[in-house]
């Protein structure tokens, strides 16, 4: 393999494009010595050119045709866990039972519900998840106390979460105890932590949109394949998004 070959791609990207896993998971497989490149234990940063043989856990991988990638939207019920580990009871993979290997793009907490995307296209995952890319996600949230003007103002203008201040966001009061929030970052349990900082507890949290993909009309527990126009628009949004180096 010639590392200078301009037609080569990074090993983690090659693995993700087979639909086996995301780039991040591919890096873990490589680092643990479970990937062979042309019969030699692969290293992080290796590149793959045409004619190279890649084996993961003894299985030869072939690059998947992009037209075969799967993209679906799922209305996750409360209680379903966003993990591909099928040893975990209530995992999202067993719940959906899709016939091909897919994995969730990001996660929703077990007590949360609503829209989550799943795919076999590992290359798209980092583009959507990286906080720097500022892709919109919209939620409907209910809390345990009446929502005040001060609460809305502080939520919208940023609060300390996990050692950093959250980015400004759109917050709209919908009812006495319910509000809409549109985030363009994705810190761990961000909305719940923001509410807790203001001495509110979240009683329900539903994600209703990720970028151009909407939850409606899916009922709880239902999923659907994305339409071509949705996929095209999604990829258009992601065109200039940062990702790991090829």
> What does pTM read for this prediction?
0.76
Confidence tier at 144 by pLDDT (50, 70, 90): very high
Q: Is 219 exposed, middle or buried (0-12, 13-18, 19+ CB in 10 A)?
A: exposed
Which region among 68-72, 169-173, 194-198 has the lowest average model confidence (pLDDT)? 68-72
What is the pLDDT, as a whole number, of residue 50?
80
Confidence tier at 242 by pLDDT (50, 70, 90): low
- Tell me, yes or no, if 123 is annotated catalytic: no
How many helices and strands in the chain, by DSSP H and E? Answer: 7, 17
What is the pLDDT, as a whole number, of residue 19?
77
> Which of these is catalytic: 109, 144, 199, 246?
109
Identify the CA nearest to 237 among candidates 123, 115, 134. Answer: 134
How far is 42 from 36, CA to CA, in rounded Å? 5
Identify the CA nearest to 200 among candidates 190, 189, 208, 192. Answer: 192
Is the pLDDT reported for residue 231 higher than 50? yes
Is the pLDDT reported for residue 235 higher than 70? yes
Is the pLDDT reported for residue 145 higher than 60? yes
As beta bridge partners, residue 225 has 72
What is the pLDDT, as a whole number, of residue 5?
52
What is the pLDDT, as a whole number, of residue 119?
92
The total of other beta-carbon atoms located within 10 Å of residue 20's CB is 20
Is the pLDDT reported for residue 132 higher than 70? no
Is the pLDDT reported for residue 2 higher than 60? no
What is the pLDDT, as a whole number, of residue 3?
43
Identify the CA nearest to 210 among candidates 72, 110, 78, 85. Answer: 72
Is the pLDDT reported for residue 176 higher than 50? yes
**Residues 98-123: what's their mean pLDDT?**
91
**Residues 148-162: what's their mean pLDDT?**
97
**Residues 23-45: what's their mean pLDDT?**
92
Maximum mean pLDDT: which of 56-60, 135-139, 177-181, 239-243 = 177-181
Residue 207 Rama label (left phi>0; alpha psi -120 to 50; beta) = beta
Average pLDDT across the chain, whole number: 89
**Tens-place pLDDT, residues 25-35:** 899 999 999 99
Confidence tier at 240 by pLDDT (50, 70, 90): low
**Residues 82-94: what's their mean pLDDT?**
93
Cβ contact 96:74 at 8 Å: yes
Residue 65 Rama label (left phi>0; alpha psi -120 to 50; beta) = beta
Instruction: Give the residue with greater pLDDT, 140 vs 55.
Output: 140
What is the pLDDT, as a whole number, of residue 127?
76
């Amino acid at each position: 393999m010639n590392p200078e070959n301009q037609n080569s791609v990074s090993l983690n990207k090659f693995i993700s494009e087979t639909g086996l896993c995301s780039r991040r998971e591919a890096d873990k497989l490589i680092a643990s010595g479970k990937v062979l490149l042309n019969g030699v234990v692969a290293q992080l940063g290796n590149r793959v050119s045409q004619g190279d043989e890649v084996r993961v856990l003894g299985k030869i991988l072939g690059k998947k045709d992009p037209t075969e990638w799967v993209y679906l939207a799922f209305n996750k019920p409360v209680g379903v866990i966003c993990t591909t580990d099928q040893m975990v009871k209530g995992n999202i993979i067993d719940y959906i039972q899709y016939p091909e290997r897919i994995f969730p793009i990001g996660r929703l907490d077990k007590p949360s519900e609503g829209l989550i995307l799943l795919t076999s296209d590992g290359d798209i995952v980092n583009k959507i998840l990286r906080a720097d890319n500022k892709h919109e996600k919209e939620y409907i949230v209910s809390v345990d106390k009446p929502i005040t003007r001060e609460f809305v103002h502080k939520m919208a203008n940023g609060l300390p979460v996990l050692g950093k201040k959250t980015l400004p966001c759109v917050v709209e009061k919908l009812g006495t105890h319910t509000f809409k929030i549109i985030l363009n970052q994705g810190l761990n349990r961000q909305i719940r932590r923001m509410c807790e900082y203001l001495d509110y507890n979240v009683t329900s949290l539903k994600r209703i949109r990720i970028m151009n993909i909407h939850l409606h009309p899916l009922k709880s527990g239902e999923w659907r394949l994305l339409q071509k126009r949705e996929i095209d628009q999604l990829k258009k949004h992601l065109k200039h998004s940062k990702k790991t180096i090829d």
